[in-house]
């Protein structure tokens, strides 16, 4: 197996060389101060995260091959060659370094980052030696409960009542753990999870700018840059991925973005609008998780919670689109555009009335029903 840190294709090698040069420039003393001085700190964070992620990704690939942390073809897998799995480590390092280098971490953000790292570590062990799905789920719930203790919790119900507080905690667990695993589930085709993560993070950054939340915006941009830096090595026009995120990367990206959504203030107009914006941005992940759960229960594929946790299938949105379109890249692009379409709806909510928020969520639901009908018809044909 090839263990060189240099990417195997000319375009990927060029990307790596350019990333090395750009990163070197950004590390020059006073480089960051210049970006801050002219008011584009966000751009420095974006480029820094992108270049560091791009530099580290091939290195992580070589390390993964050396340690045999790889994804083997066969079974339900759609790839045809042994592929390294440590791409997610590049994103974890690039994201955290971009934030630490800019010293923009408050207490709650430190808690989120530490929680994300713990989730990534247990997933890294799973990539290497295999860990029970129940153990991973237990760790994720435990981490969320620690975050709740530090005040990172949804505020959907009256928090001054016991029932309201308990419902807020329950929905916080469902939101973060659900989206963490939804991002992991959607990581089934080249470029899909990293691309969706970058799109979600970008829209979160835009909403943060709209609502004057610079810290949330910088954190979202750091995640977008980290995912985009990884993407050239995971998505190619002609060549298959040279490295995968692994559970390490997909769970880390999903966990941090889901937790960041709880920490942020999404609107000043109403609680309904504030709730609708993140739902629209994360809609593709929510839809996929809801669809497979309902479909598996109705068809009798799972009958207990244990069976649902352990079940592994090919009924996710990307599998169904691939069956319809017959092309993996078309399926990935379809999901990209669907995610972006619904993200634009979230931006439109900035000055919307509560009824507008409700209507946009209904619109998202109708769009996905249309997609489901098309997918189902394609599969039956």
Choose the most confident range, by mean pLDDT, from 80-84, 126-130, 224-228, 377-381. 224-228
d(CA 60, CA 63): 5
Q: In this predicted structure, what is the pLDDT of residue 258?
A: 95
Q: How large a percentage of the chain has pLDDT more than 70?
A: 92
Given a cut of 60, is residue 328 above it in pLDDT?
A: yes
Q: Is the pLDDT of residue 335 over 90?
A: yes
**pLDDT on residue 364:** 83
Residue 108 has pLDDT above 90, yes or no: no
Contact 128, 69 (CB under 8 A): yes
Taking alpha carbons only, the member of 46, 28, 59, 79 closest to residue 222 is 46
- C-alpha angle 282/225/30, rounded to 5°? 140
* Residue 131 to residues 144, 177, 254, 310, Cα–Cα distance (Å): 19, 17, 19, 12
The separation between the first and the last C-alpha atoms of the chain, rounded to the nearest angstrom, is 40
* pLDDT tier at 90, thresholds 50, 70, 90: very high
What pLDDT score does 224 carry? 97
Strand boundaries in the chain, DSSP class E: 70-71, 83-84
C-alpha to C-alpha distance for 108 and 29, rounded to whole angstroms? 29
Mean of all residue pLDDT scores within the chain: 86
pLDDT at residue 253, rounded to an integer = 96
pLDDT of 177 reads 94
Chain centroid to Cα 233, Å, comes to 17
The more confident residue out of 377 and 247 is 247
Which of 190, 189, 181, 194 has the alpha carbon at shortest distance from 224?
194
Kindly report, residue by residue over 147-175, the tens digit of the pLDDT: 999 988 888 888 888 888 999 999 999 99
Q: Grade residue 53 by pLDDT with cuts at 50, 70 and 90.
A: very high
Mean pLDDT of 99-128: 87
**Rounded to whole angstroms, how far apart are CA atoms 224 and 228?**
6
Least confident of 34-43, 100-109, 305-314, 366-375: 305-314
Mean pLDDT of 50-67: 93
Radius of gyration of the chain (CA): 20
Q: Is the pLDDT score of 285 beyond 70?
A: yes
Q: How far is CA 313 from CA 242, 244, 308, 321, in A?
A: 24, 19, 11, 15
CA distance 263 to 154: 8
205 within 8 A of 217, measured Cβ to Cβ: yes
More confident position, 18 or 311: 18
Q: How confident is the model at residue 1 (pLDDT cuts 50, 70, 90)?
A: very low
Q: What tens digit of pLDDT does each residue of 172-216 get?
A: 999 999 999 999 989 888 899 999 999 999 999 998 888 888 888
Tens digit of each residue's pLDDT (9 = 90 or more) over 265-281: 765 556 677 778 888 89
Q: Identify the pLDDT of residue 98.
A: 93
């Amino acid at each position: 197996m090839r263990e060189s840190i240099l990417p195997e294709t000319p375009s990927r090698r060029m990307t790596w060389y350019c990333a090395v040069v750009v990163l070197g420039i950004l590390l020059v003393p006073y480089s960051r101060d210049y970006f801050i001085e002219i008011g584009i700190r966000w751009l420095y964070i974006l480029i820094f995260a992108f270049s560091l992620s791009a530099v580290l990704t091939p290195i992580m690939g070589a390390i993964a091959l050396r340690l045999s942390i790889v994804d083997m073809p066969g079974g339900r897998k759609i790839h045809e060659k042994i592929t390294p799995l440590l791409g997610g480590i590049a994103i974890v390092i690039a994201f955290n370094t971009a934030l630490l280098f800019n010293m923009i971490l408050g207490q709650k953000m430190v808690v989120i980052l530490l929680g994300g790292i713990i989730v990534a570590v247990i997933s890294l062990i799973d990539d290497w030696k295999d860990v029970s799905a129940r153990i991973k789920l237990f760790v994720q719930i435990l981490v969320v409960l620690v975050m709740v203790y530090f005040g990172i919790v949804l505020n959907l119900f009256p928090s001054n009542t016991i029932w309201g507080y308990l419902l807020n905690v329950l929905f916080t667990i469902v939101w973060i753990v659900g989206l963490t695993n939804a991002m992991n589930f959607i990581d089934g085709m080249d470029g899909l999870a990293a691309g969706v993560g970058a799109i979600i993070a970008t829209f979160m950054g835009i909403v943060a700018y709209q609502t004057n939340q610079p810290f949330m915006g910088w954190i979202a941009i750091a995640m977008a840059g980290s995912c985009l830096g990884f993407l050239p090595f995971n998505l190619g026009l002609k060549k298959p991925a040279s490295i995968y995120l692994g559970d390490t990367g997909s769970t880390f990206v999903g966990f941090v973005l889901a937790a960041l959504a709880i920490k942020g203030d999404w609107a000043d107009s109403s609680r309904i609008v504030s709730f609708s914006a993140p739902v629209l941005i994360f809609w593709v992940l929510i839809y996929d998780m809801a669809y497979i759960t309902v479909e598996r229960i109705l068809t009798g594929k799972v009958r207990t919670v244990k069976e649902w946790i352990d079940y592994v299938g090919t009924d996710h949105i990307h599998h169904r689109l691939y069956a319809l379109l017959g092309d993996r890249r078309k399926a990935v692009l379809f999901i990209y555009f669907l995610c972006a379409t619904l993200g634009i709806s979230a931006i439109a909510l900035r000055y919307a009335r509560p009824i507008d928020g409700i209507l946009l969520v209904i619109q998202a639901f109708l769009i996905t029903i249309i997609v489901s009908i098309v997918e189902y018809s394609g599969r039956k044909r």
